[in-house]
Structure 1
Amino acid sequence: MIELLAAMTTLSLGVGQEVVAGENDAGAERAGSGPDAVVYDGSAGQLEVPGPMVADADITIDGEIDEDAWANAPVLTGFTQFDPVEGVPATQRTEARVLLTDDAIYFAVTAWDDVKDGVRATLGDRDSFGRSDDYVRFIIDTFNDHRRGYVIMVNPLGVQQDGLWVVGGGGDRRRRWGPPIDWNPDFVWDSSGRIFDGGYTVEVKVPFKSIRFPKVPLQDWGLQIERRIARNGYGESWAPVTANVANQMEQFGTLTGLQELNPGLFLEVNPVQTFSKQGAYDHGAGAFQREGIDGDFGMNVTYGITSNLTLDGTYNPDFSQVEADAGQIRVNERFALFLREKRPFFLEGTEIFQLPQQLVYTRSIVNPVVGAKLQGKIGSFNAGYLGALDDVADPGNPDENTHAVVNLFRLRRDLGSTSNAGMVYTDRTYGPDRFNRVLGVDGRFQLNQRYTVTLLAAGSRAAHGSAESLNGGLLSAQVARSGRNFQFEVGGHDISNDFEAGSGFLRRTGIAQMQSRVSYNFRGRPGDFIERWGPSLEAEGLWTHDDFWARQRPQESSVQVGGSVSFRGNITVWGNYSRSYYRFERDSYYSLASRSAGGVRRAFFPDQSLFQGLSSGTIFFWVNSFDRVRGNVRLTRSESPLFDFISDAPVDIADSWSGDASLNLFPTTNLSAEVGVRHTSLLRQRDGSLYSRATIPRLRAQYQFNRALYLRTIVEYGSQRRGALLTPTGGDQVEYCSNGSCFDLKGSESNDFSFETLLSYEPTPGTVFFMGYTRRMEDMQAFRFRDVRPEAEGLFVKLSYRFRG
């Protein structure tokens, strides 16, 4: 193993991605400008840069910025701050340079820092640094349409992170923060970084083969360059930006007059071979059984039909997860849990399928045998197609040996400078009389730069064998206002009872929901102790589909007031208080009964006043002030209904205490660790007895030998206990009845203990070597570790190589 690590370390330092942390500022000194270099001051509105084409740049990506080509390259400077204060001069000096050759675009940045040892950088694997490190971000709008751009990020040690800036999509829309970036795609590009005494330098090369652009003789590209200073959270950009414009891409600068760009022949072949050996505890035999070695081969092929249209094909796409999904608390969960897609074939080039409601959810393709994907932009039209043969049984006929044929199609047309309209069609077919089809139209319209209107209408048809086919509909609408200080959004959706999205993910159907939110931000002056603060108000109502159109009272509603404060030093505190109301009709409980200690069974319908005016309060602390230790804590106290997950009706009421804490440790440049814990307890209000308790501690530690090679270990313990559902007055057992028989809604308990370790070598996306081991055990008593029994284990190896022509 030691020899293997040494060999991989040597190999990774020979692929043009060397990482050096220097002790002098020679790199900055050699970054001077030649007599022909033109300076473009972003703060002065000098945002149009004539395309700096160079026949032969002869640039080595080593972070030095010492080649002659850089001396006469355009210099992009005059950065201004956009976070936390807009429009003021940048706190640190930044200079960027850009060049284009016949096969790539190059960037070089010198980022000065007047604070000794103020630069934060961690040697980690790809897409790992996020908000923890300093970084420079390049956003390249190759179609100059203000709708989609390539995001290229690099930290001071040259570690890469990339994605797609998708206006109206991406980001963490549910929590309403972060830029609209889809972090799933991985592109092939080169980078390097060096830290010197007064800052750092980075160099980047993005081959034209890795990006899509129009096939025209003359074109312009949008360009933005941002810098993030991690110790204080400041964001600074070359092209000034303001939140008063909803679409940030409208404020980018431009590379003009780019001529005869041609990526050449683009063909990628990516064979994948995996080996695994599984084991599981056989409860019947009372022994642990191990299977033989299982091998699996897959292949991905990508062909660039033109510079803006790409065809992908796959056979047996890989689904070996190199890291398990973090544990989720399930003790009082009403609906299905959403799991993120992790398969590379379904991650890249599928951002076009993002919609206000998730009508496309690629994890619904469970076991694909073959698949094809076509995506690109022609003129003002964006098109995407995804098809697959899914080796999975029909849920309505699980005993039949069937396959699902999946076809997903999306078309979207640009309207005006930033708006668009489109359609989506999904088809999942098991046979001529067993299928699910959805057809929808949508639009996103930007008005007066501040306002955005989003609309979606869809219809579904589903057939399940001999039964009559079901037809359903979905409507969704939202209006949002962006602003530096004042923002609001109001919207809602209605989903009919018979609407089915067989290729999508909808937690609930047969409901209508309306929500609104208004907030105001007060911003301090540069250097103030309080940099930004503001209140918010939210209201939400939920009806059954039929009640909504009959103008009945909502089944669920809530009002929430909140506020947040950002302090100097990258410290954020926010909190909220809400009141919730639940009103369920008697027919929601038709399948529930109560049984007394004497065995007397009665129809069950709790007093709905129990579920009125339930209070909840949350406070959250986030601290990113220190170089080696960062973390966050969330605490919530609430009055929570206890739901029967079958009928989705509230049965009892409980006092809930929950929270989570996470501590991120960076003891050295190469070593990082995350220690976290999640906990929730629900106590019945009737007598204070425990209904459920869940505690999930998790440790994730990683040692990075270099940018390509790391060793990671994850240890997690999940203790989850749920009691029986009892009536809120007498404490009688609640039963679920169906077809003349009833059974108790009993509790459950699990104490899972898991361990996994992974050795990963990935010099470029698609070229990987993974070797991992995972073991899951069951502790007979929570956190005792006295009688720990093995439940399952797995050893896997993955080998793949990305051939590029």
Structure 2
Amino acid sequence: MLPFAALLATLLAAATPPDDFAGRTYAGRSRELDVAIPRHDSEGTVDGRLDEAAWRTAARLTGFSRYAPTDDAPADDSTQVLVWYSPTAIHFGIRAFAEPGTVRATLADRDKIYTGDYIGIFLGTFNDGRQATVFAVNPLGVQGDGIVVESGRSSGGGFQGLQSGREPTDISPDYVFESKGRLTDFGYEVEIRIPFKSLRYQSLPSQTWGVNVIRVVQSRGVEYSWAPAQRAAASYLAQSGHLVGLSGLRRGLVLDLNPVVTERAVGGPTTARGYAYDAQPARLGGNVRWGMTNNVTLNATVRPDFAEVESDAGQIAFDPRQALFFAEKRPFFLDGIEQLNVPNQLVYTRRITSPLGAVKVSGKAAGVDFAALSAADDRAASADGDARPWFEILRLQRDVGRSSRAGFVYTDREEHGHSNRVVGVDSRAVWRKIYSAQLQGAYSRTTAPDAPTREGPLYMVDLRRTGRSFVARYLFNAMHDEFDAQSGFISRPAVTHLLIDHTARMFGAQGSALRSASFDVSADGLWKYRKFVTRGDMLEKKLHLNTNYELRGGWKAGVSYLLETFGYDPDFYDGRLVASATDTVPFVGLPRITNHDWVFSVTTPNYRRVSASATYIVGRDENFFEWAPANIGYVSAAVDWRPTDQLRVGGTYLWQWYRRPTDGSMVGETRIPRVKAEYQITRAVFVRAVGEYRADYADDLRDAAGASAIPGGTILVPDGRGGYLPGRGFTTATGRARSVNSFRPELLFSYMPSPGTVVFVGYGSTLGEADALRFSGLRRQRDAVFVKMSYLLRRA
């Protein structure tokens, strides 16, 4: 009878209704934020139903508060979060109550859940108030994840709309965890199991972790937070609650082997004016991840395949003197990437283009976060195409108090006698909850055979006040002419930047149509570094007046007026001439160009089936092609359409143009329409089609401003061989051209049951035509078919 009685007791426990709860409740609004969660030896089954015995005695988190768009008010919808842990994992169960028909969820791909309802769990496993791993799930259990490392990026003004007050989560990293969800009569229920193998944490017998849980309700356009966090704070993570008394955690041996094989066939035109494919040999590679301790991980890769399964989306450069930034997406670099976060982007792993092999050790010990990376890059990345560049990168960060830190960075890139080394220190201090200061100093040394050594410093001071009604920022950043960071990303070198930004914010009453509004004044100055040290005039002076509004239901709108004056930059136009039929003289630009621009933006709520945003800029701005005033326009529009729970169609359109005020002729124009359609067959299988068109036009260049001795003359540019050519926008395989038009279609089949285990079958092509957006004379320029397979071997 004893086995029968035990079985009967188990069945009765499993049938316990949701309101039969025997654990302790912790109400966030009552500031019951130190949570002692029970430990059970059984692991349980992740099935999306919180009916196992362990859930009856779990700690229950309730009493959520509103956080965005306004804070410091009770949540409109009830949320219960149940928490317990086993020897090998931490378990979360969510019961989210909602009005009938208001829950929004689709069967999305990983990290594509954020246009619907979702739950986000922030785990600060080192309890430093500065970084946290984020695990997100939607009501169907579809996963999203990422990492947050606070650096003060959440505050500030501008015409990009109101900011949430919480630092953005980097969703690039992927972690292995389990989740299941289901819709219910009361809303939805989600079950999550996060294995300790997927986390790094302290090597202590009894641990305290930072924790917070957010809930996003798209039908209301709000975000709730269990810990009653305030937007008027320099640190969001420092306002988290705590899981206390965690003990007996068994991570076990963390050893992940991830072999990868890629087969590719590349097509291109032949010398006989035909087209042929070159089937390349199968490329074998692999990654290894070894958890040396609870908080130290070694990653290694050999002949990795870093081919992207989706090309970077096209961008438009507002200022051709600034480089465009593309985010890191490659799995090897993403693991522990938060440890390589450095102000001024002194570490940018995409500088390592395609390494033969690389090793990385990262973790935290004795209050110090560290990461050391060594990589041997492809020979094609070297200056002569023969040497193999070597990268050595070291990053250290030391916790100081609850939310402050001090850091050190060293980078070294060497090839064939060429070297570039950077050493730097930085710190961030937070005090009185709303004030923060970030300081940085760095020095670079660049050597090359038969060339003088180049050396120079970089300095930065960034002061911020993040109050509820008043936000302020004061930034000073100076970069010497000879400062060079070849392992980092410097958007515009050899400049000194001064920014003063003040923002006043107001919040509407409960139930009012206006939820919040901000009024921002930004004074922005830029010098060439050598002009700054000799007390010369600013190169650029900007005064931006920005207003942003958030309305009931999630609508956002903004209006800005930009008053700017840009000085002539002779370094950028060095070597140009102006020619007539009888004479040639050096190109001389206008000393200054004054700009007046208006910016209008609007963002819709995330409706059940569609959401959209648009930005429009119009006014008088600089024509960088000819260094003359121009009537400019810029349009950025995006639509996300979800006609079914499995189909997603996203469209974006970028359009920028410059016209001469004198005769209305077009100087330059770029149009980039892009459409992406994804069909999610199951949680692990989807198919995707992407089409992006880029149409670039640049007229024959002339001295439109009339500043030279030959007003209206033809601008000549160096051809790189000691001669000159009439200025036109583009160099093609057949010479100079006014327009370059390309269409890039991509198709992909993806099977990814878990991060690291994937099968990709894809096709990508680039086609060109003479007339933009006609789709009638498209000719293949190159294409490729590829198959990629990898499998994650994880020791249980």
- TM-score above 0.5: yes
Q: For 1:521, what is the secondary structure of its paired residue?
A: strand
Structure 2 counterparts to residues 84-123 of structure 1, below 5 A: 84-114=69-99, 116-123=100-107
- Residue 267 in 1 paired to residue 255 in 2? yes
Q: 2:142 aligns with which of 121, 143, 159?
A: 159
- Could you tell me how far 1:85 is from its partner in structure 2? 2.3
Q: Could you say if the C-alpha distance between residues 404 and 223 of structure 1 is closer, same or farther in structure 2, counting changes exceeding 3 Å?
A: same
Structure 1 CA distance for aligned equivalents of residues 93 and 155 of structure 2: 30
Instruction: Answer whether contact 1:28 1:110 (CA < 8 A) is retained.
Output: no
Q: 2:119 aligns with which of 130, 133, 136?
A: 136
Q: Could you list the runs of 5+ residues in structure 1 that have no partner in the other structure? A: 1-26, 645-649
Counterpart for residue 666 of structure 2: 690
Q: 2:474 aligns with which of 490, 494, 515?
A: 490
Instruction: Answer whether contact 1:331 1:722 (CA < 8 A) is retained.
Output: no
Counterpart for residue 450 of structure 2: 466
Structure 2 counterparts to residues 553-564 of structure 1, below 5 A: 553-564=537-548
Q: Could you say if the C-alpha distance between residues 576 and 29 of structure 1 is closer, same or farther in structure 2, counting changes exceeding 3 Å?
A: farther
Question: Structure 1 counterpart of 2:298, which letter?
Answer: L
Counterpart for residue 446 of structure 1: 430
Instruction: Answer whether contact 1:569 1:625 (CA < 8 A) is retained.
Output: no
Structure 2 CA distance for aligned equivalents of residues 38 and 95 of structure 1: 12
- Residue 713 in 1 paired to residue 689 in 2? yes
Counterpart for residue 601 of structure 1: 584
Q: Normalising to structure 1: TM-score of the pair?
A: 0.92
- Could you tell me how far 1:641 is from its partner in structure 2? 1.6
Instruction: Answer whether contact 1:497 1:511 (CA < 8 A) is retained.
Output: yes
Structure 2 CA distance for aligned equivalents of residues 142 and 733 of structure 1: 63
Q: Deviations over 1:349-393 (max 9, x none)?
A: 121221220111111111200100000111211111111001234
Instruction: Answer whether contact 2:67 2:224 (CA < 8 A) is retained.
Output: yes
Structure 2 CA distance for aligned equivalents of residues 586 and 90 of structure 1: 57
Structure 2 CA distance for aligned equivalents of residues 686 and 92 of structure 1: 59
- Residue 735 in 1 paired to residue 722 in 2? no
Q: 2:493 aligns with which of 504, 509, 525?
A: 509
Count of residues paired in the alignment: 763
Instruction: Answer whether contact 1:322 1:758 (CA < 8 A) is retained.
Output: yes
- Could you tell me how far 1:322 is from its partner in structure 2? 0.9
- Residue 215 in 1 paired to residue 203 in 2? yes
Counterpart for residue 50 of structure 1: 36
Q: Could you say if the C-alpha distance between residues 335 and 28 of structure 1 is closer, same or farther in structure 2, counting changes exceeding 3 Å?
A: farther
Q: Deviations over 1:232-261 (max 9, x none)?
A: 221111110112221112211111111132
Structure 1 CA distance for aligned equivalents of residues 16 and 184 of structure 2: 11
Structure 1 CA distance for aligned equivalents of residues 152 and 476 of structure 2: 17
Q: 2:531 aligns with which of 547, 570, 581?
A: 547
Structure 2 CA distance for aligned equivalents of residues 65 and 169 of structure 1: 38
Q: Could you say if the C-alpha distance between residues 697 and 43 of structure 1 is closer, same or farther in structure 2, counting changes exceeding 3 Å?
A: same
- Residue 254 in 1 paired to residue 223 in 2? no
> Percent sequence identity over matched residues?
33
- Could you tell me how far 1:724 is from its partner in structure 2? 2.4
Counterpart for residue 332 of structure 2: 345
Q: Could you say if the C-alpha distance between residues 492 and 331 of structure 1 is closer, same or farther in structure 2, counting changes exceeding 3 Å?
A: closer
Structure 2 counterparts to residues 188-337 of structure 1, below 5 A: 188-282=176-270, 284-329=271-316, 333-337=320-324
Question: Structure 2 counterpart of 1:281, which letter?
Answer: P
Q: Normalising to structure 2: TM-score of the pair?
A: 0.93
- Could you tell me how far 1:685 is from its partner in structure 2? 1.6
Q: For 1:706, what is the secondary structure of its paired residue?
A: coil
Q: For 2:488, what is the secondary structure of its paired residue?
A: coil
Structure 2 CA distance for aligned equivalents of residues 680 and 770 of structure 1: 35
Counterpart for residue 604 of structure 2: 623
Structure 1 CA distance for aligned equivalents of residues 717 and 702 of structure 2: 12
- Could you tell me how far 1:545 is from its partner in structure 2? 0.6
Instruction: Answer whether contact 1:318 1:343 (CA < 8 A) is retained.
Output: no
Instruction: Answer whether contact 1:631 1:663 (CA < 8 A) is retained.
Output: yes
- Could you tell me how far 1:210 is from its partner in structure 2? 0.4
- Could you tell me how far 1:326 is from its partner in structure 2? 1.3
- Residue 421 in 1 paired to residue 398 in 2? no
- Could you tell me how far 1:331 is from its partner in structure 2? 8.9
Q: For 2:356, what is the secondary structure of its paired residue?
A: strand
Counterpart for residue 11 of structure 1: none
Q: Deviations over 1:570-625 (max 9, x none)?
A: 110012111111223767755222111x131112223325x02x111111110025
Counterpart for residue 4 of structure 1: none
- Residue 764 in 1 paired to residue 764 in 2? no
Instruction: Answer whether contact 2:321 2:572 (CA < 8 A) is retained.
Output: no
Counterpart for residue 790 of structure 2: 800
Instruction: Answer whether contact 1:651 1:725 (CA < 8 A) is retained.
Output: no
Counterpart for residue 786 of structure 1: 776
- Could you tell me how far 1:405 is from its partner in structure 2? 1.1
Q: Deviations over 1:172-220 (max 9, x none)?
A: 9996835322222111000011012331010000000000111111111
- Could you tell me how far 1:535 is from its partner in structure 2? 0.7
Instruction: Answer whether contact 2:301 2:359 (CA < 8 A) is retained.
Output: yes
Instruction: Answer whether contact 1:317 1:343 (CA < 8 A) is retained.
Output: no
- Could you tell me how far 1:504 is from its partner in structure 2? 0.7
Q: Could you say if the C-alpha distance between residues 560 and 133 of structure 1 is closer, same or farther in structure 2, counting changes exceeding 3 Å?
A: same
Instruction: Answer whether contact 2:382 2:388 (CA < 8 A) is retained.
Output: no
Instruction: Answer whether contact 2:15 2:51 (CA < 8 A) is retained.
Output: no
Structure 2 CA distance for aligned equivalents of residues 739 and 698 of structure 1: 37
Structure 1 CA distance for aligned equivalents of residues 341 and 791 of structure 2: 30
Q: For 1:573, what is the secondary structure of its paired residue?
A: strand
Q: Could you say if the C-alpha distance between residues 148 and 394 of structure 1 is closer, same or farther in structure 2, counting changes exceeding 3 Å?
A: closer
Structure 1 CA distance for aligned equivalents of residues 150 and 565 of structure 2: 35
Structure 2 CA distance for aligned equivalents of residues 629 and 239 of structure 1: 31
Q: 2:638 aligns with which of 655, 662, 683?
A: 662
Question: Structure 2 counterpart of 1:239, which letter?
Answer: A
Q: 1:566 aligns with which of 520, 541, 550?
A: 550
Q: Could you say if the C-alpha distance between residues 28 and 735 of structure 1 is closer, same or farther in structure 2, counting changes exceeding 3 Å?
A: farther
- Could you tell me how far 1:330 is from its partner in structure 2? 5.5
Question: Structure 2 counterpart of 1:104, which letter?
Answer: A
Deviates more, 1:319-328 or 1:742-751: 742-751
Instruction: Answer whether contact 1:134 1:156 (CA < 8 A) is retained.
Output: yes
Q: Deviations over 1:391-433 (max 9, x none)?
A: 234654x15x2111110001111111211111100001113x3
Q: Deviations over 1:698-717 (max 9, x none)?
A: 11111001111001101122
Structure 1 CA distance for aligned equivalents of residues 523 and 672 of structure 2: 31
Counterpart for residue 408 of structure 1: 393
Q: Could you say if the C-alpha distance between residues 586 and 769 of structure 1 is closer, same or farther in structure 2, counting changes exceeding 3 Å?
A: closer
Question: Structure 1 counterpart of 2:320, which letter?
Answer: E
Structure 1 CA distance for aligned equivalents of residues 653 and 15 of structure 2: 43
Structure 1 CA distance for aligned equivalents of residues 423 and 429 of structure 2: 20
Instruction: Answer whether contact 1:595 1:733 (CA < 8 A) is retained.
Output: yes
Question: Structure 2 counterpart of 1:409, which letter?
Answer: L
Structure 2 counterparts to residues 380-395 of structure 1, below 5 A: 380-393=367-380, 395=382
Instruction: Answer whether contact 1:394 1:430 (CA < 8 A) is retained.
Output: no
Deviates more, 1:733-742 or 1:309-318: 733-742
- Could you tell me how far 1:52 is from its partner in structure 2? 1.4
Q: For 2:197, what is the secondary structure of its paired residue?
A: helix
Structure 2 counterparts to residues 502-541 of structure 1, below 5 A: 502-541=486-525
Counterpart for residue 183 of structure 1: 171
Q: 1:434 aligns with which of 415, 418, 423?
A: 418
- Residue 71 in 1 paired to residue 52 in 2? no
TM-align CA RMSD: 2.0
Structure 1 CA distance for aligned equivalents of residues 220 and 241 of structure 2: 26
Q: Could you say if the C-alpha distance between residues 484 and 172 of structure 1 is closer, same or farther in structure 2, counting changes exceeding 3 Å?
A: closer
Instruction: Answer whether contact 1:360 1:503 (CA < 8 A) is retained.
Output: yes
Q: For 2:344, what is the secondary structure of its paired residue?
A: coil
Counterpart for residue 591 of structure 1: 575
- Could you tell me how far 1:30 is from its partner in structure 2? 3.3
